[in-house]
Amino acid sequence: MKEIGHREHRGHRGYKCKMRIDQTIERWFRQTADDINSANKPDEPEYELCASILPLAHNYSDAALLLLNSGKKLPAMAIIRVVAELTFRFIWCLSPNKRNENVNVRIQRWLKKSYEQEIRNLKKRLPSADGKEQERIAAAITYYESEAEKITSRSAGDLYGSLEDLTVNSPDNARKSLSWKNQLYPLLYTPFNQAVHPDLLVLFKLTKQTGNARMFGGDYDTVNINVLKIGCMSCVFNILAATRIVYDLDYQDIKKEYLEIKKQMKKE
């Protein structure tokens, strides 16, 4: 009876901790949104970027947590991978680099890359379009090409190349402390690629042989949901901490809470 009671206690504690992650992330987003609305900052690119990224990150992270609470690990991993890439792009925009580019230049480089990617996507669609749809796509291509030409800066490179461009020995200790590519990239980006680009290695993990019977699953059995939730929380923390730094808001409270939850989850 004691052993059963002990396992029940641990399960209940684990559930409370998982729910604490959900509730904490929600509170962080709402508090940060309230704080930046009260900051009365001017309409400058870095503030607009922060204000724009928060609702998207909130929406995606909330979706990932809902999926994890339903036991849908691979779909949640795919969403966390999207949030991770957004996190890296965001940090890249706001952090110093070897060229001493200001934030506005970084945003323009990202915008130019966005135009170029949209042009490529539209050109792929053009051959299969008919009539008015083809005219609409052709007009959109012309528009994006003209907008991209207005940006004199080169576009942002690939994600990893962009991260390599960060100044690791940054004089800005607050941003430096958020973590850099050697810590965040392998933690938040690479592990989730398999969910976005499922290959045979993924498919083989979903098949089990029991005697003469073959069992087919659509998800991972061995991946720990707590680990995935921490991955989601890590993305959210870095986005919100960077935002609070830009707005001259303290982020030490959320950092302390983030580290406490990570420590607690390791005990589960």
The amino acid at residue 140 is A
Pair 184, 87: CB distance under 8 Å: yes
Q: Whole-model pTM?
A: 0.81
pLDDT tens track for 146-205 = 999 999 888 876 655 555 555 443 334 444 444 455 666 677 767 788 888 877 777 777
Pair 103, 46: CB distance under 8 Å: yes
Determine the Cα–Cα distance for residues 100 and 89; give it in Å rounded to an integer.
Answer: 17
Determine the Cα–Cα distance for residues 25 and 97; give it in Å rounded to an integer.
Answer: 29
Taking residues 6-24, what's their average pLDDT? 60
Pair 16, 52: CB distance under 8 Å: no
Pair 238, 184: CB distance under 8 Å: yes
Q: Which long-range contacts (CB under 8 A, 24 or more apart) does 171-174 make?
A: 171/96, 172/95, 172/96, 174/245, 174/251
**Comparison of pLDDT for 247 and 9, the residue scoring more:** 247
DSSP letter (8 states) at residue 213: E
Determine the Cα–Cα distance for residues 113 and 82; give it in Å rounded to an integer.
Answer: 17
Q: In this prediction, what percent of the chain has a pLDDT beyond 70?
A: 77
